[in-house]
Amino acid sequence: MDIKKILGGSSPYIQSKVEKGEESTASAKVEKAKAKARSQSSGSGDRVSVSGDAKLVAEAAKAAQESPDIRVERVEALRAQVQSGTYNLDSRRIAQKLVESDLDFLK
């Protein structure tokens, strides 16, 4: 099918776009064929190497995912303190940490 016949009396702008599209499609096919030939002739594909730091980060991420989200022993100890009335909060320390946190946030 020849698209030029469909366009008939279209503007030169549209016709030039159609012709450029045909050229780019043909050149894309040629480039794709060249790339395929290069990859087949070289016999080697892409290679990836991972640094030692990246391996360490991957191991740390895996360990973090495998660890429990909740420390059950700590939660039970705090629950027992609250229920027995021995859990005391230092309001000054809490206020100080809140102020420090806000100041760090503003930096």
Q: What is the pLDDT of residues 18-76, one digit of tens each?
A: 566 555 566 667 777 777 766 665 556 678 787 888 889 999 999 988 888 888 999 99
8-16, Cβ contacts within 8 angstroms, sequence gap of 24 or more = none
How much is the pLDDT for 3?
A: 57
How much is the pLDDT for 36?
A: 73
Please report which confidence band the pLDDT of residue 101 belongs to, taking 50, 70 and 90 as the band edges: very high
CA separation, residue 56 to residues 45, 50, 61 (Å): 26, 10, 9
Residue ranges per structural domain of the chain: 3-42, 48-88
How large is the average pLDDT for residues 4-13? 59
How much is the pLDDT for 73?
A: 93
Q: Which stretches of 1-107 are DSSP H helices?
A: 3-7, 12-42, 52-66, 72-84, 91-106
Q: Whole-angstrom Cα distance, residue 107 to residue 102?
A: 9
How much is the pLDDT for 18?
A: 59
Q: What is the pLDDT of residues 67-100, one digit of tens each?
A: 888 889 999 999 999 999 999 999 999 999 999 9
